[in-house]
Chains A and B, each alone.
Chain A
């Protein structure tokens, strides 16, 4: 299935799709109109309903996020702080032009992780700066920061801090945030001057208008109305939408007033007490505030303690990392030493030496006995050789396991199984002589060149050259080229018809044939000259005169001339050395003669 991931750069409307769509829409419209008539509901009301639904949906989404945050705050035991958090989010939304439905989850994320209200607010501000500076969305930034807060620094690599993963792991959370903030310092302020920010403000205002109108619509319980048009200024949009919402609320209030008319009647006749609401309890704001402060202080203390613990944990982790690295270095050194030791052990591995010696001895026995060996001897030798092989494989396998070389160990174990199966066959006496011969054959020392090899090579050459190959006068059989002049019927017909391509092809073919003929003629001339020379030499060998010197036996005869022999004496120095040595020996009491020697007692 082809993917549809593409950037469409330039396109044109062909109208085909639109025409079809238009037809479909017209058809649908007719049907809806008829349905509307039937039900007595105009299409305008349907459109208003759709419009209102969009706004209500926006309001519902916003409300959902707010409720989620409220619940998270309540779960932390500081439900009373919800109004201040709402105010903080609203202020931040206004100043940073980031929608509250983005800010709320981010704040909730931070609050759940840090457990501290002030810390979360501080981190959210920092996250906005980082988001503006790096271009990464706020949700990702807060997510990364919360992870970093609990020691997971992997996600921070995207912020291009210039630190390695190991370095990030050793840094504390505040240090990391400090580094990222330094890199993005002033980004949030710069963004405030950009057109993008202004556009954000307008988008936000429109979004808020949707939410406010949605809220009003919900309050008005089914009064569907509204306008899609809004001015291009944030203030005007919000004022308009708030006014609209108020209007809707007013409707509800009027209805409420109408519903209270009976109450006014009762009050007029002096029976208003039944409508009296319970008086509000006296405010204990001071005690309450003190309690709130206590709770907040407790929460902050817990958060600080947790931060401390996390810092300690991070420190411990860093120390553990350092220790681990040191251990690894130590282990690497030990491994290196073990490798050197292993090499030494290989040289002095008595087991291996003994097995090699035993294999050599077996090979010698096989060579000695040769084809004269009896079946019993063959069996015995094959058993010995096989046992030695198995033993050698076992040692190799032990080494491979010790080296943790899985590939080699697997291969060796497979080989060992095969060899064990062969040994089982031998020891089980259910052998076949042919198989034993094969086993023995494997243990015979291999010659690089022997008569068998040469015979095989000659056989191969004869196969290649055919039966006419002669070592004394090697003439290679020429190829059968009788069909070389035959052309394909298609080419012939085109050539006859005068097709220039065919004419060119035939001419090129003819040139190639003449060149081939010329080269073969030259080769034939060279071979003829060579054979004539060989024939001349052979003819000349019948008479001594016609041969070159090295073929003439007469040239090797001794001539009748006196022989001079010169002897040059170059031994005087040697005599001197020998004499000195004898004297020296005698002086030290090491006489070369037996006379004068003392017999050992």
Chain B
């Protein structure tokens, strides 16, 4: 759960208009707070040698197929995909705007981050179901999103085991913390780094906003 602040957007706009230097300084302070977390998270991204070779190489027909293939993992790209933003985002469907965030933009990196979070033993193979096609009844494997489509029944398990061996899944919001525990803050690199940061970056970001507010008010009062 992000920390919710009030009137931060308005403060940012005011700073940009009347004290652009302070606005820039505030953003820099926020960035400085988030940079170590990103660097730490990048350190948790493994090399390709530690992962299953098939995922690293991808399918041979990746350049010719018409659909989007399962994303491959590239260590450099995954590290590059990790980053932070200190500019406001677009409002989400609930109307919340994010003022500072850490994100993983690389698909392979995102898979490394979360694989095994929902299904610790990987997705199981779909059950065999009856199908009516072209006037004939036959049987096919269920291809629902919750099922693995691999021919290898243990594919999901092997994939997750390999990832767990490369880096454990760490929950940044486990049971016992204030607020509602959630599975969605569990990951191997970004969330792990966030968990290990123990709120240092969060405090620094809020402090930066508070400082900016104090300085702005001081200037306006003078």
Contacts and interface: CB of A to CB of B under 8 A. Distances in A.
Interface of A: 1-3, 5-21, 135-137, 139-140, 143, 154-155, 157-158, 194-197, 199-200, 203
B6 A12 contact: yes
Nearest to B167: A158
A19 B103 contact: no
18 contacts: A1-B68, A3-B110, A6-B98, A6-B103, A7-B185, A10-B99, A10-B209, A11-B3, A11-B4, A11-B97, A11-B98, A12-B97, A13-B95, A14-B97, A17-B92, A17-B94, A17-B95, A154-B161
A574 to B, nearest CB: 75
Contacts of A158: 164-165, 168
A21 B93 CA distance: 9
Contact of A18 (B94, B103, B165): B94
A154 B194 CA distance: 28
Contacts of B103: 5-7
Nearest to A194: B176
B177 to A, nearest CB: 8
Given A10-B8, A17-B96, 14 more contacts: A3-B107, A6-B101, A6-B103, A9-B3, A10-B3, A10-B5, A10-B205, A12-B7, A13-B95, A13-B96, A17-B91, A157-B165, A199-B175, A200-B175
A199 B181 CA distance: 11
Interface residues of B, number: 51
Interface in B1-58: 2-9, 34
Nearest to A97: B175
A344 B99 CA distance: 73
Interface string B191-220: 100100000011001100100000000000
Contact of A12 (B8, B34, B114): B8
A9 B121 contact: no
Interface of B: 2-9, 34, 68, 91-107, 110, 113-114, 120-121, 161, 164-165, 168, 170, 172, 174-176, 185, 187, 190-191, 194, 201-202, 205-206, 209
Contact of B104 (A6, A21, A155): A6
Contacts of A2: 105
A140 B171 CA distance: 14
B110 A5 contact: yes
A2 B120 CA distance: 25
Contacts of A199: 175-176
B91 A196 contact: no
Contacts of A155: 161, 164-165
A158 B2 CA distance: 30
Contacts of A143: 120-121
Contact of B201 (A8, A9, A200, A203): A9
A21 B174 CA distance: 30
A54 B101 CA distance: 34
B99 A11 contact: yes
Nearest to B120: A140
A140 B95 CA distance: 38
B96 A12 contact: yes
A1 B106 CA distance: 10
B83 to A, nearest CB: 10
Contacts of B165: 154-155, 157-158
Nearest to B168: A158
A14 B165 CA distance: 42
A8 B98 CA distance: 6
A132 to B, nearest CB: 12
A203 B175 contact: yes
Contacts of A195: 176
Contacts of A139: 120
B95 A19 contact: yes
A315 B96 CA distance: 60
Contact of B2 (A1, A5, A9): A9
Nearest to A203: B175
B194 A7 contact: yes
- Of all A-B residue pairs in the complex, the 7 with the closest CB atoms, nearest first, are A17-B95, A196-B176, A6-B103, A8-B2, A3-B110, A11-B2, A9-B100
A6 B114 CA distance: 11
A454 to B, nearest CB: 49
Contact of A7 (B101, B120, B164): B101
B94 A136 contact: no
Given A12-B8, A154-B165, A200-B176, A7 B102 contact: yes
Contacts of B172: 7
A143 B116 CA distance: 14
A16 B110 contact: no
Contacts of B2: 8-11
Contacts of A197: 176
Nearest to B190: A7
Contacts of A154: 161, 165
Nearest to B204: A9
Contacts of B99: 9-12
Contacts of B94: 13, 17-18, 21
A374 B217 CA distance: 105
Contacts of A8: 2, 96, 98, 101
A14 B95 contact: yes
A550 to B, nearest CB: 68
A10 B92 CA distance: 14
Q: Give the most central of A5, A197, A200: most B CB within 10 Å.
A: A5
Given A3-B110, A154-B165, A155-B161, A9 B101 contact: yes
